[in-house]
Amino acid sequence: MKTKHSKAPDPGELRERALGYLARREHSRFELGRKLAQAGFDEADIAVLLDDFEARNWLSDRRFAESWVADHRAKAGSVKLAFELRQRGVKEAIVEAVLDENRDSEFERAREVWQKKFGVPPADAADKARQLRFLQSRGFTSEVIRRVVAEGAGHRPGFNE
């Protein structure tokens, strides 16, 4: 039986805790708010603090999204990146803007992921399906996946669909 009583954190700790989280890495407003709420801070106090941090540009969903994409784009396509950003509370307009800036490199990134994993053309239809599924699981668009696998297959008959 525990004898320790959990007490609510001191409101003065809120700012310090939030700055500590932001010092480690960028956070979306949603993420930071959730972490602070889980630590036991008052929701109203959190909202006021986050508004202040955004006004000072210490907290930015746009900057978080750019950082997230930069850190994860080598292994993930735009579909997966968009999903992950939405899960972290980033607004759709920011998701689209940040991903639009990275669309031109999606084919090259998918080709690098394919090359690292497979490196050889699919041997048969089952192998092609496996390669397609793998790239899909990484969140690349259907169009990019088809182009990468077709290029890897050397445009052999039956593999260009």
Question: Within a 10 A sphere around the Cβ of 152, how many other Cβ atoms?
Answer: 20
How does pLDDT run across 109-153, given as a tens digit for each residue? 999 999 999 999 999 999 999 999 999 999 999 999 999 998 876
Give pTM, 2 decimals. 0.79
pLDDT recorded at residue 55: 98
CB of 83 closer than 8 Å to CB of 139? yes
Give me the DSSP letters along 11-24: HHHHHHHHHHHHHH
Would you place residue 7 in the very low, low, confident or very high pLDDT band (cuts 50, 70, 90)?
low
Q: What is the pLDDT of residue 79?
A: 95
DSSP 96-138: HHHHHTTGGGHHHHHHHHHHHHT-S--SSHHHHHHHHHHHHHT
| Residue ranges per structural domain of the chain | 10-59, 104-152
3-state secondary structure of 49: helix
Q: What pLDDT shows up at residue 8?
A: 63
Q: Is the pLDDT of residue 160 over 60?
A: no
Q: Is the pLDDT reported for residue 17 higher than 70? A: yes
pLDDT digits (tens, 9 = 90+) for 47-94: 999 999 999 999 999 999 999 999 998 889 999 999 999 999 999 999
| Second CATH level (architecture) for the domain 10-59 | Orthogonal Bundle (1.10)
